[in-house]
Amino acid sequence: MRSTRLALGLLFTALLFGAAPLAAQTVKVGFMTTYSGPGAAQGDQLDKGAKLYFKLNRGKLPRGVKIDLITRDDTGPNPDVAKRIAQELIVRDKVQLLTGFVWTPNAAAIAPLTAEAKVPYTSMNAAGVSIVNLSPYMSRVSFTLWQSVYPLGQWAAKKFKRAYIAVSDFAPGHEAQEAFTKAFMEAGGEIIDAVRIPLANPDFVPYMQRVKDSKPDVLFAFNPAGKQATAMMKAYSDLGLGKAGIKYIGPGDITTDEELQGMGDAALGVITAHHYSAFADRPANKAFVAAYKKEYGQKLNPGFMAVGAWDAMDLIFHVIREQKGKLDPAQNMELIKGYKSPNSPRGPIAIDPETRDIIQNEYLREVRKVGGQLANVEIETLATQIKDPWKEFNKKK
């Protein structure tokens, strides 16, 4: 009985949709993120940011234009799965635009598909510096580590002489190390030692003891936000490195807004460079944070990944709006290259037409207590409308 009613209901809905105006343009957008496995927390941020934008803005499309957002689970940093779901989205579901991905390997894996099918992909988060070079249909609205770390290194060299580098032993860690070393040494600083810490490492105290004994002025750190970064900061404060006059700095990835509350007071005073803080007082950000909290709960702060997803959706809406829903592959890329938004929660952003990578501001922040909550408080703008430095350096050669 119940199933009959359900079937009737479905039939009715189907008729209702079928009866919608024939002129309607439905654009299919493939959205790939992580819903299962250990990376689900990050994947969830993309989901929340993208769905929020979609919910608030889908009414503002030109008449008759609809977006069908098709979501798929990539199960974590898993290039094989990423390639398979992207292929299914392109071939079976006939999507015209692709977006999503927390993880660089996944974005890299689908690059050949985007070129072959002429379906543009926009990275919501995957930040591996070279992925946009892999296909003319790849673009990015998130960030690169060079973008935050290089200006941070230049800033640090003005304040400190001797730096110690401690990064997690994985590709982003190596990128951060390279960027900081270049900026810091160019500006006359000295790197006294660098250590790469394995990703599966429960105890950071021995590493921090070693840092303390070699007496640097500043410790540049990069490891994944959450338990790794927290454990290292705790070891840093337990051993009194701060009292010994060693400053703790790093890219904003080590004090992300969503993890920060769980990290506790060990994070206080840490200086980071990043493009987004949930506590930034730009009006666009305040509106975004308010909408996010209204949708997902007052206690939840959006992080930079949610903002990446939000802005990627804005770019996709821009592409669809400008063509009134009739998408042309060549036109798509032209529109993506010309994308500019003065009102992103992180400030003004644009896509660099040459590299299809993001141009944005980088802010210097300090972790402080604001109204009983830990917050990344923006102190100054470290770099205005900065392009990815790595691509700039490699262009000149």
Partner 1 sequence: MEAFLSSLVSVAFHGIAYGMILYVISVGLSVTMGLMGFVNLAHGAFAMAGGYVLTSAISRFGLSFPMALPLAFIVVAAASVLLERWLYSRLYDAGELEQVLFTIGLIFMSVATAQVVFGMLQQPVVLPDYLKGRVSLLGRDFPLYRLFLIAASGVIIAALWFGVERTLWGAMVRAAVDNRAMAQSIGINTRRLFTLTFALGSGLAGLGGALGAEIIAIQPTYPFEHLAYLLIVVAVGGLGSLRGPFAAALLIGVSDTACKYWLPEFGAFFIYVATIALLLWRPAGLFGKRL
Which residues sit at the interface with partner 1, rule CB under 8 A?
38, 40-41, 44, 169, 195-198, 200-203, 205-207, 209-210, 213, 226-227, 230-231, 234, 238-240, 258-259, 261-264
CB of 226 to partner 1, least distance (A): 6
Question: Which residue, 213 or 281, is less far from partner 1 as judged by CB?
Answer: 213
CB of 104 to partner 1, least distance (A): 20
DSSP letter string, 342-376:
EEETTEEEEE-TTT--EEEEEEEEEEEEETTEEEE
Question: Which residue, 40 or 291, is less far from partner 1 as judged by CB?
Answer: 40
CB of 115 to partner 1, least distance (A): 34
Question: Which residue, 210 or 286, is less far from partner 1 as judged by CB?
Answer: 210
How far is CA 2 from each of CA 6, 7, 11, 130, 231, rounded to the nearest angstrom? 6, 9, 14, 54, 53
CA triplet 300, 263, 288: central angle to 5 degrees? 25
Q: Cα–chain-centroid distance for residue 175?
A: 16
Question: Which residue, 50 or 113, is less far from partner 1 as judged by CB?
Answer: 50
Question: Which residue, 74 or 388, is less far from partner 1 as judged by CB?
Answer: 74
3-state SS, residue 127: coil
3-state SS, residue 233: helix
Q: Cα–chain-centroid distance for residue 137?
A: 19
Question: Which residue, 110 or 197, is less far from partner 1 as judged by CB?
Answer: 197
CB of 276 to partner 1, least distance (A): 18
Question: Which residue, 172 or 325, is less far from partner 1 as judged by CB?
Answer: 172
How far is Cα 50 from Cα 311, in angstroms, rounded to an integer?
8
CB of 181 to partner 1, least distance (A): 17
Question: Which residue, 151 or 216, is less far from partner 1 as judged by CB?
Answer: 216
Question: Which residue, 9 or 206, is less far from partner 1 as judged by CB?
Answer: 206
Question: CB of 195 within 8 A of CB of 165?
Answer: yes
How far is Cα 251 from Cα 249, in angstroms, rounded to an integer?
7
CB of 108 to partner 1, least distance (A): 24
CB of 206 to partner 1, least distance (A): 4
Radius of gyration, alpha carbons of the chain: 22
How far is Cα 170 from Cα 296, in angstroms, rounded to an integer?
32
CB of 75 to partner 1, least distance (A): 14
DSSP letter string, 262-328:
HHGGGGTT-EEEES--TT---HHHHHHHHHHHHHH-TTPPP-HHHHHHHHHHHHHHHHHHHTTT---
CB of 164 to partner 1, least distance (A): 11
How far is Cα 88 from Cα 94, in angstroms, rounded to an integer?
8
